[in-house]
Amino acid sequence: MNANMEGTLRVAVIGSGLAALGAVKGLIARGIKPVVLDRGERLEKDREEKAAQMAAVEPSQWTPEQRVWLTPDGTPKDGSGIPKKREFGSEYFYGRSLAGAPVKSKDTMPPFSYALGGLSAGWGAAVLPPQACDLEGWPVEAGELAAYGAKALEGLPYSAEDDGLSLDFPLLSPGTGTLRLGVAGRSLLEALGRTGLLQKGRTVFGRARQLIQAQGEKACRYCGHCMSGCVYGSIFRAGDEILRLQKEGKLDYVPGCLVEGLAEEGGKALVTYRNAQGAVRTEPFDRIFLAAGAVNSTRLVAASKGNFGASMRLRTRGGFVLPALSLKGLPAQWPDCNTEPGIFLDLKGGGLKHWVHVQVSTENELVLKKLGLLGNAKGPWTALKRFLSRHLFLLFVNYHSDHSGTYEMSLEPLQGDGKPATLVSRHVKKWPSFGVLGATVWRLLGVFGRIGCLPLFPLARLNSGSYHVGGTMPMTEGEPRGFRTDRLGRVAGWENIHVVDSSIFPSLPGTTIGLLLMGNAYRIADQAFGKD
């Protein structure tokens, strides 16, 4: 299909998260102006206004009251002990049951979103390319996905350095400036560098790679509130890029849409949705790229294909969070620092078949808030906690989905009352196998023991249901059967509807999956129209 023909195609992208952005960029590169259909929920107006007021001045001019507002209590309700990430105190980007898309869970709700930008609206933007050892069973090679990941990175803010991580995880794209690493982070990284442990294919570490603006108008101001929401817009969000492309006339953005069904008829792909005014519309497109997120895309395909009552396994990336004790005091800089994890450590071999990804965070305002150390509290107990906090840092340990929990999901059979089917989920928690867990403990003790630090494993908190999920409709080589998809994200019987989000991942690497999401979606959007 030539470029002139492609320019006349009517193409829809459903969603506005990382996968949607990858598909959009792939389509634009082919000369196609897509229509983005999105629920597009936004931050509450009053919170948006308060954040804008703070963004108008430097952090040094913020009042104590503004800082308190920016970092509310993050104590979770699920008993995990892991502070919950919010944006300016809001949980708007976490999905909920809707009348038009009901969900019920017997325990923990699987992560999904109706926000502009999806879950990227509130979460960070760590970046690492995929590795072949983590993509066993994929019908697409790691090198091909990395090449498309490089295309997806073009034009995005990218804080990255060519360091020890590059032994196994190449940069793929030039960085746009590197974030300043805090004194405590520099101390730990320099100490790791002196151990002689850096080894390709086994132990690599370096500066965290993040989609965060380090230079320019939206550069990080080191205000100490990265985990609570960035008022300056330094942390990348897919929704912001979607709106920028709309402003440039490269796509049409239609918010307020709740998609209810998909079908193919007469060579056209049909989407039925309820618009912002509540009216139900069905529109034809030449192609549809479904990027509603693993949960919502699974619901839509299952409902559209009549897959009611069947169990569908939603895979998760899992792991645990644990504090580590440094015998040497770590200089405290808060609030004059960036509080995203500043160091990436990746481990393989020695009993670890897949990469175990560890993010090291030396100062985290959510933890400081939980300890009661953000205010002006005094007294011997507070003094002791402050002393201990200067010897502690956090390790976020992430496993491949082979070693993680799952969600068992199904669509309840239709009752004939015209109501949409309810998506039912059950969370199956799972610790990694003793072999993998033992290897991880041994490796972490070996690495951090070399620099006078001790991971406090008795205080570890299981995180078996992370916000990285997928795998309900895994891609397979050749013709797909059952609830699987081909390498272009198409279930059996569909030619022009492509699922492009993590629901089609055969597995989820323990390393960050944001770049994999964008790169794979870009690939499908590029290859769906055949060779040039």
CB count in 10 Å sphere of residue 331: 13
Spatial separation of the C-alpha atoms in residues 332 and 294, rounded to whole Å = 39
Residue 491: both structure tokens together: 């279930």
pLDDT single digits (tens) 335-354: 999 999 999 999 999 999 99
pLDDT single digits (tens) 94-150: 999 999 999 998 788 888 999 999 999 988 789 999 999 999 999 999 999 999 999
Q: Determine the pLDDT at residue 81.
A: 53
Helix (H/G/I), strand (E/B), else coil: 44: coil
- Order of strands across the sheet that contains 258-265: 258-265, 268-274, 280-285
Find out whether 54 and 61 touch, Cβ atoms under 8 Å.
no
pLDDT single digits (tens) 355-406: 999 999 998 888 887 777 776 777 888 888 888 889 999 999 999 999 998 9
Spatial separation of the C-alpha atoms in residues 109 and 93, rounded to whole Å = 14
Beta bridge partners of 399: 318
Helix (H/G/I), strand (E/B), else coil: 445: helix
- pLDDT band per the 50, 70, 90 thresholds, residue 492: very high
pLDDT single digits (tens) 280-297: 999 999 999 999 999 999
Query: 440, exposed or middle or buried, with CB in 10 Å at 0-12, 13-18, 19+?
Result: buried
> Distance between terminal CA atoms of the chain?
6
Angle of helix 142-153 versus helix 514-527 axis, rounded to 10: 100
Angle of helix 142-153 versus helix 18-29 axis, rounded to 10: 80
Judged against a pLDDT cut of 70, whether residue 83 lies above it is answered with no
Spatial separation of the C-alpha atoms in residues 433 and 130, rounded to whole Å = 23
Spatial separation of the C-alpha atoms in residues 503 and 475, rounded to whole Å = 9
- pLDDT averaged over the chain? 92
Task: Give Cβ neighbours of residue 68 (< 8 Å, ≥ 6 apart).
Answer: 374, 375
| Continuous segment of H or E residues that includes residue 441 | helix 434-449
Spatial separation of the C-alpha atoms in residues 11 and 29, rounded to whole Å = 14
**Mean pLDDT over residues 242-257, rounded?**
98
Residue 274: both structure tokens together: 């309820």
Spatial separation of the C-alpha atoms in residues 217 and 157, rounded to whole Å = 12
Spatial separation of the C-alpha atoms in residues 24 and 359, rounded to whole Å = 30
Percentage of the chain modeled with pLDDT above 90: 79
Spatial separation of the C-alpha atoms in residues 342 and 362, rounded to whole Å = 8
Q: Determine the pLDDT at residue 180.
A: 95
**Mean pLDDT over residues 252-275, rounded?**
97
**Virtual CA dihedral for 300, 303, 306, 307, nearest 10 degrees?**
80
Spatial separation of the C-alpha atoms in residues 18 and 501, rounded to whole Å = 8
Burial 91-112 (b: 16+ CB within 10 A, else e): ebbbbeeeeebebeeeebbbbb
**Virtual CA dihedral for 116, 118, 9, 492, nearest 10 degrees?**
-150
- Lowest-pLDDT choice from 108-117, 412-421, 477-486: 412-421
Angle of helix 18-29 versus helix 514-527 axis, rounded to 10: 40
- pLDDT band per the 50, 70, 90 thresholds, residue 466: low
Q: What is the CA radius of gyration of the chain?
A: 23
Task: Give Cβ neighbours of residue 306 (< 8 Å, ≥ 6 apart).
Answer: none
User: Is the preceding omega at residue 335 within 30 degrees of 0, hence cis?
Assistant: yes
Spatial separation of the C-alpha atoms in residues 259 and 35, rounded to whole Å = 14
Spatial separation of the C-alpha atoms in residues 94 and 113, rounded to whole Å = 5
**Mean pLDDT over residues 193-211, rounded?**
97
Q: Determine the pLDDT at residue 389.
A: 87
Find out whether 474 and 505 touch, Cβ atoms under 8 Å.
yes
Length of the chain: 532
Find out whether 499 and 485 touch, Cβ atoms under 8 Å.
yes
Q: Which of 420, 466, 425 is nearest to 105 (CA)?
A: 425
Residue 477: both structure tokens together: 């080589």
Spatial separation of the C-alpha atoms in residues 160 and 166, rounded to whole Å = 10
- Residue type at 154 in one-letter notation: E
